[in-house]
Structure 1
Amino acid sequence: MTRKAAGGLQRAFFLWTIAGTSLIVAAAAGAAVVEVFRGTADAGTFVWGMIGIAALLESLVLFAVGLRLRHRYLNQVQSYDSRGDYLADDGSSRPRIPLLGDGQATQNIRNQSLGGN
């Protein structure tokens, strides 16, 4: 269950990355899009304008789907089963509770100093 939930969040980030790339394409074709809407585009500009409009629509849809996936991930009830396993005991008699609920994070507080040595 944990991998599936994390995969949903990763899919949202992946969709947002593609949406950002589509926005770059739409921005590159921005002048052509304006000419298509004005009705003054020639054949090449019309093609670029249609590509820009399609890229803009694609980015909006992918962003909305990513928001939906993120919303579904954040509203999942976290239980002991979905949090992941407790980390292995290292003999320090400190409880090792998984951080952030995924069971993969560890506490990094051993032998740290502010002096850099």
Structure 2
Amino acid sequence: MTRRATDGQQRAFFLWTIAGTSLIVAAAAGAAVVEVFQGTADAGTFVWGMIGIAALLESLVLFAVGLRLRHQYLNQVQSYASRGDYLPDDGSRRPRMPLLGDGQATQNIQHQNPGGN
């Protein structure tokens, strides 16, 4: 279960990487896209402008799909099996449960004594 959730998160990041690359292509074709919309593009500029428009649309779709995958990952119910093992005892006599997620993270919270030593 954890492996599947992590794969979903990695797919979202992968899609966002491709979307960013498509945005770079769309930005490179920016002037051609403007000429296509103005109607002043010649044949070569028209083709390059259509590539830019397609890259822009592709990046928007990939970004939306990545958001959907990330949303599914964040709303997935975590179980005891997907949380990982309990963390080793540090002598504080407090239970140290693993954080939600893939079980690889550790707690970084410093518990301070309210009495103030």
TM-score by length of 1: 0.79
8 Å CA contact 2:83, 2:99 repeated in 1:
no
CA distance in 1, matches of 2:101, 2:40: 56
Percent identity, aligned pairs only? Answer: 89
Task: Please state if 1:63 is matched with 2:93.
Answer: no
For residues 37-116 of structure 1, the aligned pairs below 5 Å read 37-87=37-87, 89=88, 95-106=95-106
Structural RMSD (CA): 2.0
8 Å CA contact 2:22, 2:56 repeated in 1:
yes
Output one character per residue of 1:23-52: Cα deviation in whole Å (capped at 9) or x when no partner. 111011011011111221111111110110
- Give, as a single letter, the amino acid of the residue that structure 1 aligns with 2:5: A
Q: Specify every segment of 5 or more residues in structure 2 that has no aligned partner in the other structure, as ranges.
A: 110-117
Q: Give the CA deviation at 1:97.
A: 2.6
TM-score by length of 2: 0.79
32-41 or 48-57, larger mean C-alpha shift: 32-41
